[in-house]
Structure 1
Amino acid sequence: MNISVITWLGSGNYGTSLQSYALCQKLSNLGYNVSFLSYFDKDFKLKSFLKGMFASIGIMQQREKKMFEKTDALRKLYSFQQEKYKICHIYFPNQYKELLYQTDVFVTGSDQIWNAWYNFNPFYFLDFAKDKKRVAYASSMGTADFPEKYKADIKKLLSRFSHIGVREQTAVNAISTLLQQNNIVQVLDPTFLLEAHEWKNLAEEAEIEFKLPSKYILCYLIGNNPHYAEQLISVKKAYGIDDIIIIPAIENKTFHIPGATVYTAAGPKEFAYLIQHATLVCTDSFHATAISINLSVDFVEFLRFKDTDEKSQNSRIYDILEHYNLRSRLYSSETDEWTRKIAYSPVQSQLAKDRTKSINFLINSIEH
């Protein structure tokens, strides 16, 4: 069967890259013919035709490659994308027609593709799929509900899906209420579909340009919060670990504390490698948290948003921590519970059950 995956491929956010990779990889492992469908405008305006003409003579490809040559990290990301994905670009109506003919199932992937507070884009709700089968796997809203002004459109689009699996329990609640259905299912983020040994195999392909210390805290923080530096120094003191490696997030490039090593050349493989070998991970990233859990690495969770913020994305962090009984990993100046080593045996036992359930959902959704 031919599967077209629709999600964000990532242009510098490590979690976005690894979740799309994991979903495509798992579907391939299950025996499907998988391609990643790049965003296109189904109205095929002049801009699309021009892009198609430039692509036919290699100009679009050269331009894309040049965009990814700005930094070492982007060069590694570009290499990763060329190596790990079969990417489908649609520029002309005849290509669109062929896409519909060739594709058996369209699968929307994970990450916050349904975060309509950030950007409501009908493409990620598969508005172009016509009469083809639509499946959502771990699609995330990121927030507790959709904006009121988009609800009617979103309801119409979601009603055309054969199966809807979402990443957070909050999304189950919101979509069940919107559609008046009780068959919305919570499934694992795609990064959990791959087992720890599969992430370690990917990490072995990493190219780290410096010698790692025997013990280090890996820091990956997306939010640009002034209190993060103070919290990280507090964690450093509590754990008694001097060496800190910071991977700057594309959204927070300047974060630094004195004495830390800032590693600006990490691609997706290096990101996985540094998590795997860290003594501790400090993060506000959902995917850095997820991969830490999958690899049984201790972590401390910083909160990027205030809970009172209407656009807060904390719900997805709370969901994953509560599900695996890891709420104590939230940083707090009022407790030291986050300093204790994580007992990963019950976590991995639950994760194995969740993985089986999620893979079964994915297969059943595609096959039936």
Structure 2
Amino acid sequence: MKIAITTWFHYQNYGTALQVYALSTFLNNQGNDVDVVNYIPDGQVVSLPQEKMIVNYLEKIKKKIVSRKNSVIELSDKSDKFNDFLTNIRFTNRCSCISDFEMLNGKYDVFIVGSDQIWSPLSYDVRYFFDYINNPGKLISYAPSIGVNSIQDKYIEKNMKKYISRFNKISCREKVGAEMIGKLVERDIEEVVDPTLLLSASEWKQELKLKQTEKQYLLVYFLGTNKKYWEKVYEVSKILNLSLKIIPVYEKDKMRAGVIDESIGPREFVEYFYNASFVCTDSFHGTAFSLIFNKKMLVFERFSNKEKENQNSRIYNILSKFNLKNRLYNESTYQHEIMEEINYQCVNEILTKERKKSENYLLNAIEAAGGSEIDKDNSVDRRNTPCCGCGACQYVCPVQAIKMDNSCGFKKASVNRKICLNCGKCVNVCPFIGRQESKKICDGKLLSYKDNDRAVLLRSSSGGIAYRIAYQGIISGCYIVGCKFNKEQLKAETILIKDKESINELQGSKYLQSSNFNQIIKKVQDADKNIILFGTPCQIAGIKKIFGDKKDIIYVDLICHGVPSQSVMSKYFEYLKRKYGFVKKNTDILFRDKKYGWEKRYISVFQEGKIYSEEKKKDPFYRLFESGFCYSNACYECRWRDKSNADIRIGDYWGGRFKGDASGVNMVVVMSQKGAMLIDEIKDYGQCENQNIMDYLSNQQTENVHKPVFYDSIISDLENESISIEEIISKYVLPIEKQIATERTLRKVKNKVQSLNILSRGIRNE
């Protein structure tokens, strides 16, 4: 069987590296062909703040102070040893966004998630629930850990239920986790052992070529920082008359007597447990390897039981499973317990039984999943890649089986299964499927541009480059494709213009998804002149998959953060109607009104003598748009944050270089020779200067933001006619705005207190 495993591997944590090694080794030894999905998560979960915001933030500060006092050791040779160890594992190509993950479909017979705390709600990540796999029959979980006793966030709980319910076979590492998941998905969940326990002591010795030493020692491996525990370790060392060997975790550990000076990789970590006479640890995997090698041990609780989200259940579970609860540190009995022998004959019998049960679960699950039918459907709507509404698939469909529907305020392709030929032409042109011929932004040439015509600047969102490109195109005999705001329907529309007088329609930002980009493709095909085509990066990528690098088309894409649901505009206009008396007729919106300057972003609405104007921090449309909570699904999986398929990329020149400029400056990234020739033709219309590409990489969004865990809820509320835009902001946006403001205030207070303390110490020292 070809098997793909997804789990953590990138943290320089011994247990993390060893559990993925153990699972892949076990499966390979069973005759399977195993890869690990090469995914390194980044960013934090985007969720609504819990109650007691200030208390929670102060707790964060406390933890940060503790972590500064206990800084983790960072050594390059330790990193080298981890990297060398991971060469024993075969990885897939690097996966960053869902388009990369989607390509794994069809390559593997079985997909396994596990182990480690990848299902912990504290570090929720949808990728570890195989949201990208089309056939749920291929999904198996092996020993993922929940890590906590309850799921506090209702949105995370809802998402976990949604994705875990898809799995064919489900298991968990701990009893508490199995019970929680079982209740969540209303199924019986198998409790299995950690992957490290799937390999016997002799197998670990053989696989890692462990060497035996004669010297006896007490091995210490603490992930916590409890001073009392260290005192007890020294007492145990004296009682047992054993010298200490300490695997250091924090910088201050290097000062302890008995610390191991050499850098320790995963292999060396196992070898120290293999040779130890006694072990003191608060680590789950430290406990696991003590069991594997039949070591006497004393296990400590890493977390305080007063912490709501403590993770001690992992330790309790493994000790309870092997009838070793008495090895958990107890102040009144520990001196007696350390002198007692552990009945490892009994422990090993349990371990053999549990290992066999876990092996049977895993092998039977693989056999069942591997026999599931391969999804041979070759159309865009049977995949998990998001739709950006570009319409490329609709254009190439030979039987017109595809149309662009409205779905929750976004354009989305739908396929008529009755007439679909399953020919795959739609898949071939989808910008989110397959490999892309994109160029890296860092390989482009960065320019700044500011037009000399003040009237052009006033109507443009920034420096007027889009107007000037369109103007030059028209006078050179080209047609221009760009986006205008439809004043009657309050929508963004893509149009083709042929004269200078129409360029004004294209000026300014339109913070909405084009409602008809799919309809412009045929006009581009039928055009009898050269085309300059403006669009978002995904639109350009889609249309370029149809027309390629034709000499008669110049592609210009926009620096884009995301497009909000059209429902945001609908709610917004209801607000304008209710509060200010606007009617849905001939309404013009300047999404970036420069009357107060370029950097002060105002939105202004005009209608037959009525004018509404508000800054972005107070305007409901802007607050929802800038929150990033209601973008298209495709925006959270964008493939072009740091890449482009266009000849030119344009946007605002944010950053410090033009700070204070009142009328706006453009960033222009030249990506091709065609783009360079066009810019050369217009540069004398304004101030056009070479700049360092680092300005782009430092000041523009080059990575995707995380989709909030409450995304489905906010999109649903936007579709609900009975819920106002103010209510939506109050429910989703305001709590996070308050959290950010509170954290900012508390940081200032903390910094002032620190400054006063430093000043006070200085005065006392004089």
So what's the TM-score if we normalise by structure 2?
0.42
Change (3 A) 1:340 1:70: same
Further displaced range: 294-303 or 82-91: 82-91
- Once residues 131 and 91 of structure 1 are traced to their aligned partners in structure 2, the CA distance between those partners, rounded to angstroms, is 21
SS at match of 2:88: helix
Deviation at 1:222, TM superposition (A): 0.5
> What is the identity, as a one-letter code, of the residue corresponding to 1:297?
K
Q: Distance in 2 between matches of 1:188 and 1:102?
A: 28
Task: Tell me which amino acid in the other structure corresponds to 1:154.
Answer: M
Q: Once the 2 structures are TM-superposed, how far is the Cα of residue 264 of structure 1 from its aligned partner?
A: 4.5
Alignment check: 8 A CA contact 2:10 2:40 kept: no
Identity %: 36
Q: Which residue of 1 aligns with 2:364?
A: 364
Within-5 A mapping of 1:48-59: none
Q: Which moved more, 1:271-280 or 1:299-308?
A: 299-308
The amino acid of 1:314's aligned partner reads: N
- Residue matched to 1:9: 9
Is 262-271 or 188-197 further displaced after alignment? Answer: 262-271
Please state whether the residue corresponding to 1:260 is helix, strand or coil: coil
**Aligned pairs for 1:1-368 within 5 A:** 1-39=1-39, 70-90=75-95, 95-117=100-122, 119-132=123-136, 133-149=138-154, 150-181=156-187, 183-204=188-209, 214-241=215-242, 243-249=243-249, 252-255=250-253, 258-335=256-333, 336-368=336-368
Q: Deviations over 1:95-149 (max 9, x none)?
A: 54431111111100111111112x1111111112222421100000011122232
Task: Label 1:213 to 1:353 Cα distance change in 2 as closer, same or farther (>3 A).
Answer: closer
Q: CA deviation at 1:38?
A: 1.6
Q: Which has the larger radius of gyration?
A: 2
| TM-fit CA distance, 1:342 | 1.2
Rounded Cα–Cα distance in structure 1 between residues aligned with 2:359 and 2:152: 31
Q: Aligned residue pairs: how many? A: 332
Q: Which amino acid aligns with 1:350?
A: I
Report the CA distance between 1:324 and its aligned residue: 0.7
* Cα distance in 2, alignment partners of residues 270 and 83 from structure 1: 15
CA deviation profile, 1:75-107 (whole Å, cap 9, x unmatched): 111111113333432358775443111111110
Cα distance, 1:326–1:256 mapped onto 2, change above 3 Å: farther
Distance 1:196 1:328 in 2: 23
Shift of 1:200: 1.2
- Tell me the alpha carbon deviations over residues 284-326 of structure 1, each in whole angstroms, 9 at most, x when there is no partner: 1101110110111111101101222111111111111011111
5+ residue gaps in structure 2? 42-73, 369-766
Residue identity matched to 2:299:
E
Letter in 1 for 2:124: F
Amino acid at match of 1:226: K
Query: Is contact 2:77-2:263 (8 Å) kept?
Result: yes
- Residues 229/30 of structure 1: CA separation in 2 closer, same or farther (3 Å cut): same
Amino acid at match of 2:224: G
Matched residue SS, 1:5: strand
SS of 2:289 mapped into structure 1: helix
Partner amino acid, structure 1, of 2:355: R
Structure 1 position 231, deviation (Å): 1.7
CA–CA distance in structure 2, aligned partners of residues 91 and 205 of structure 1 = 36
Shift in CA distance, 324/97, structure 1 to aligned 2, threshold 3 Å: closer
2:139, 2:251 → 1: CA distance?
37
Which sections of structure 1, spanning at least 5 residues, go unmatched? 42-68
Residue 54 of structure 1: aligned partner: none
Q: Deviations over 1:41-85 (max 9, x none)?
A: 8xxxxxxxxxxxxxxxxxxxxxxxxxxx94222111111111333
- In the alignment, is the contact (CA less than 8 A) between 1:134 and 1:162 conserved in 2? yes
Q: CA RMSD in A?
A: 2.1
Most deviating of 87-96 and 152-161: 87-96
Once residues 316 and 164 of structure 2 are traced to their aligned partners in structure 1, the CA distance between those partners, rounded to angstroms, is 25
CA distance in 2, matches of 1:126, 1:173: 21
For residues 246 and 207 of structure 2, the distance between their equivalents in structure 1, rounded to whole angstroms, comes to 21
| Distance in structure 2 (CA, Å) of the matches to 1:27 and 1:234 | 43
**Whose strand proportion is higher, 1 or 2?**
2
1:141–1:321 distance in 2 versus 1, CA, 3 Å: same
Q: 1:225 to 1:10 in 2, by over 3 A?
A: farther
* Superposed displacement of residue 11, structure 1: 2.6
Q: Distance in 2 between matches of 1:318 and 1:223?
A: 16
Relative distance call for 1:126 and 1:245 in structure 2 (3 A) is same
SS at match of 1:73: helix
